[in-house]
Chains A and B, each alone.
Chain A
Amino acid sequence: MENQIALKVSNIDKFFYEPSKFQVLKDINFDVKKGEFLSLVGKSGSGKSTLLYVLSTMDTDYSGSLEINGKTLTGSTQNELAKFRNANIGFVFQFHYLLPDFSTLDNVMLPALKLRKKSKEEIREMAYENLKLLGIEDQAKKSANKLSGGQQQRVAIARALINEPAIIMGDEPTGNLDSKNTQTVFDIFQQLSEERGQTIIAVTHDDEFAKNTDRILELSDGSML
């Protein structure tokens, strides 16, 4: 299991055309093993977030190839990619991006309801378990926009976990949190990677956070260092 490849990128180049043509990613190649906790670091504008969105399958405007769980995703249609994301990738963003009209529990359940692999009851049970894992099960019935920032970020992680995805991706998942909550989120990620064998890729510019991860990938001017 340790040596299985979760994600493989080869020869990824990407250009921005606005305001003028500019190569933002230059020949990126790397593998991520299953269960690895990886951090992507670099200065602002180094292309680390851009790379993450390419890895996330949401950004398809690149050349090169992307493989997740042994499946080549480059060239798939938007709908295929959406289905793939639903089942295999969990997201945690800098701003939590919960749906404010839903309760905490409904927010967590939503990706699984979309996937429809399990019954609603099973999904509810799993959502509760995830909330418990993150220590916020008592907030389950609350409306998502009534939680504190740290709590919301934990709900977002619970949501990212609901479909037991192969990879969890975080774009500055602690960027908006104080040091106490940052530590909590980090501990959760570490726990997930160690105990559940989850692959985690997080973009961060928090050196403290990056230092404690399994591996650091640094980008500078679109190239890997």
Chain B
Amino acid sequence: MIRQTNFQVAFAHLSSRVKQSLVAMLSVTFGISMYIFMNGFMTGVNDVQNELAFSALAHVRIYRDLPKDRSNLLASKYDEEATLINIRNPKTIQYTTGIRNANEVIDAIDHLPEITDIATQVNLNVFFRNGSAKINGLTAGVNANDEEALFGISESVIEGSWFDLNHRSDGIIMGVGLAKKLSLNLNDNVQVSTADGVTRNFEIIGILETTMAGVDDMKAFIQINAARQLISKNRSYATDIQVNVADFEAASAVAAKMRSLTDLKVESWIESNGQLDAGNELRNIIALAVSFTILLVAGFGIYNIMNMTVNEKIKEIAILKAMGFEGSDIVQIFLVQSIIIGIIGGIIGMLFGAAVSVVINQVPFQVASLETLPMSYRAKDYVAAFGFGLITTFVAGYLPAKKASKVDPVTIIRG
């Protein structure tokens, strides 16, 4: 319970030293606004990074792993130590590629509540030909609607329409770089040849620009059944099953659950793209480290100013104690001052931090798909900044207040 009289003394101290109080407030304001700005910016960067990454990457990918090295088929039959084995010119025997019955796999995992979207793909290495131009690339046989649900790919289509793929079994949607290299435009024809020598004509019904060279210069999309046809596979065949989950950060846990449901290889984005996750984590650490350093500096500022106040008011503290103010009263008087500084500085800091964020968010930054510097505005950053700011001022104010409460009135008054 803070006594009213102590409030009165605290206010008198604050109002008698407006300048110093303002400086202390400014240091809190600065600390909190930088905390908000740094975290907003880093989160914004992370969000953009994730958005970019997940426009081509599913949270979990299910596929059949290549078989192990089986060049020595006799190894399991004979004791390797004692027997010398020599197989001349070994050939790999036939093995399964791809997922023969994708529907079965989907049925097996579909009931997991974390899963939001599933898309099957047939990915092929092919040659694209137009006249004498011949380019090695990738063709993905997809279901247009599922693909849209996972990756929002229709946004990247700059000519034609993504959803035409639903009803055009002879249609192909091609990356902008790939089309350029082949000198192709919308509605032109292109020849697609598989490794096994099957060739088929497709008509370009869309051009795609994702800003990712790996897609734009290499990749084309066709109907999944057209792709199955190209490699003479059954209707349920797929090379990949792509799965999105509700919370991408929990992808590994969901992947682990799926592993028990299928013997195919299940890989979460964190395993296949560890650098993405590491980048996010590192940026968060940098943001935290920088903002805590700034708050710490702000804390020292308050500590310094409160210490000066205590030294300046030491006679008054002695006289208050002589009049019967207890140690806890003195602590309150000085703590109230620093907390008032913290609250006012914190509120201004939140407003200032929001203002700085808005301004930085307007700075042009035309790289990849960005227009301006990214920024996120999360309420929890503001709450955390204010909370940490208050804790800092509390600690920074408590030490001088404690010192003030220990003043021995006799020594001060007697001089």
Contact = CB atoms under 8 A, between A and B. Distances in A.
Contact of A56 (B3, B13, B318, B322): B322
B325 interface: yes
* Interface residue SS majority, chain A: helix
A138 to B, nearest CB: 22
Interface in A151-167: 159
A177 B410 CA distance: 22
B256 interface: no
Contact of B5 (A49, A53, A83, A110): A110
A115 interface: yes
Contacts of A97: 315-316, 318-319, 322, 413
A75 B399 CA distance: 28
Interface string B148-167: 00000000000000000000
Contacts of B366: none
B16 interface: yes
Contacts of B409: 58
Nearest to B414: A49
Interface residues of A, number: 30
B66 interface: no
A1 B329 CA distance: 35
A49 B414 CA distance: 8
Interface string A89-102: 10101000101111
Contacts of A82: 321, 324-327
A114 interface: yes
A87 interface: yes
Specify which of B12, B15, B321, B324 lies most central, judged by the most chain A CB atoms within 10 Å of its CB.
B324
B367 interface: no
Contacts of A85: 322-324
Interface string A64-101: 00000000000000110011111101010100010111
* Interface residue SS majority, chain B: helix
Contacts of B329: 114
A47 interface: no
Interface string B1-41: 00111001100110110000000000000000000000000
A86 B327 contact: no
B410 A111 contact: no
A113 interface: yes
A86 B414 CA distance: 20
Contacts of A194: none
Contact of A78 (B318, B323, B326, B413): B326
A214 interface: no
B328 A79 contact: yes
Interface size band for B = 20 to 34
Contacts of B9: 99, 110
A207 interface: no
A91 B9 CA distance: 19
B16 A58 contact: no
A181 to B, nearest CB: 21
Contacts of B319: 93, 97, 99
A114 B324 contact: yes
A89 B12 CA distance: 25
Given A58-B321, A79-B328, A111-B323, A99 B414 contact: no
Given A59-B410, A93-B413, A113-B8, A101 B325 contact: no
A101 B16 contact: yes
A85 B328 CA distance: 16
A217 B277 CA distance: 84
B224 to A, nearest CB: 81
Interface in A174-212: none
A102 B12 contact: yes
A130 to B, nearest CB: 15
A97 B412 CA distance: 11
B16 A100 contact: yes
Nearest to A91: B322
A58 B322 contact: yes
A56 B318 CA distance: 13
Contacts of A110: 5, 9, 323
B324 A83 contact: yes
A114 B6 CA distance: 8
B328 A101 contact: no
Nearest to A93: B413
Nearest to A111: B323
Contacts of B5: 110, 113-114, 116
B323 A91 contact: yes
Contacts of B316: 97, 99-100
A100 B15 CA distance: 12
A114 B410 contact: no
Nearest to B409: A58
A97 B415 CA distance: 12
Specify which of A53, A87, A89, A115 lies most central, judged by the most chain B CB atoms within 10 Å of its CB.
A53
A53 B410 contact: yes
Interface string B359-396: 00000000000000000000000000000000000000
A102 B11 CA distance: 10
Contacts of A53: 410, 414
A2 to B, nearest CB: 28
Given A82-B326, A86-B324, 5 more contacts: A79-B326, A97-B315, A99-B9, A101-B15, A106-B12
7 contacts: A58-B321, A58-B410, A82-B321, A83-B324, A97-B318, A110-B5, A159-B323
Interface of B: 3-5, 8-9, 12-13, 15-16, 315-316, 318-329, 409-410, 413-414
